[in-house]
Amino acid sequence: MRSSKSVKKNIQWDKYMVYLIFISVFIVFAIVLGDKGFLNKNNIINILRQTAMISIMAVAGTFVMAAGQIDLTVGAIAAMTAMFVSLILQSTNSIILAILVGIGFGCIVGFFNGVLVTKFGLPAFLATMGMMQIVRGSAMWITDTSAVPIRNETFCKVFGIGNVAGVPVLILWTAFFYIAGIIVFNKTPFGRHTLATGGNETAAQYSGVNTTKIKTAVFMMSGVFAAFAGILYAGRLQAGRYSYGEGDEMSVIAAVVLGGTSMAGGTGSVIGALFGSVLMGMINNALILANLSSAQQTIVKGIIIVLAVAMSNIVQKKNKR
């Protein structure tokens, strides 16, 4: 049997793995691409701005995966929300109405995901994959795949292209969601119940945790955060389009797993998800600066993600022994 000192050491490795990977990748890119502007202040800000939507969805993704679930609808919800917001702004120019409808839509889709999983017993992967197709197809259908421009400058500045004291609003929105997410995950009964549900659902039920409500709540949370990401997509790109968020579900999952959340549930780190998300954005940015082709970028990004996740899983398995 290992000593408690050895166990403590492994736990620390597991906890800080994402930061070690992040620093290592950053140093490598800084050395290799330093002369191409990788370390430029504007480039760093651009990375944070471009990853804002994934980062925000990854906050809720941490709750979902910590509860032992998975949500593949986030990208489709973001796209459909952007479409709703654009259409409402175009017809009424009401920012409040557009926001309420967008957030409400995300909440409803999340609720249906929760019902499919908890009431009908569908595996989360299949339930959310089906909903993803329905929502994405609906976004394509309502405007016949056409983009819907947004001409409300106030909306675009507040939710996309604006700055406050030189800091892009997308970064400020990201900071807000992470502060809220960290507090809820680490300091509230909901966060503890989420971890308990994913760690051992039967034991959680015997302890008085309503796991059905917890799972439904995390899906609704995921839907709301994805909807807000769609609002930011619309504000940043000043239009709504069905193609927004394509592939975001995989990026969110990768960011959350890289951040130290187990796909089996029971563990999670909101701040780790942020570093995982920025790591993904940093890799994308570096590969573009390296002038690699689209195919080469995809290959290299896949290799880096596989290696990073493999390293994290190896540490987690050693920690369980």
**Domain boundaries, given as residue ranges, for the chain:** 31-320
Q: Does CATH number 1.20.120 belong to domain 31-320? A: no
Q: How far apart are CA 54 and CA 121, in angstroms?
A: 28
Residue 123 scores a pLDDT above 90 = yes
Three-class secondary structure of residue 165 per DSSP? coil
Q: How far apart are CA 78 and CA 155, in angstroms?
A: 16
More confident residue, 218 or 318: 218
pLDDT, position 50: 93
pLDDT, position 305: 72
Task: Supply the DSSP string of 117-138, one letter for each residue.
Answer: HHTS---HHHHHHHHHHHHHHH
Ranges 78-82, 99-103, 174-178, 286-290: which has the least confidence: 286-290
Going by pLDDT thresholds of 50, 70 and 90, the confidence category of residue 298 is confident
Q: Residue 311 is encoded by which pair of tokens?
A: 């390293």
Under 8 Å between Cβ of 300 and 282: no
Interval 33-44: pLDDT, tens:
988 889 999 999
pLDDT, position 321: 60
Give me the helix-helix angle, 294-320 and 270-289, nearest 10°.
150
Under 8 Å between Cβ of 245 and 75: yes
Question: Which neighbouring-strand residues pair with 163?
Answer: 168
Ranges 11-25, 213-227, 287-301: which has the least confidence: 11-25
Residue 2 scores a pLDDT above 50 = no
3-state secondary structure labels for all residues of 86-118: HHHHHHCCCHHHHHHHHHHHHHHHHHHHHHHHH
Residue 18 scores a pLDDT above 90 = no
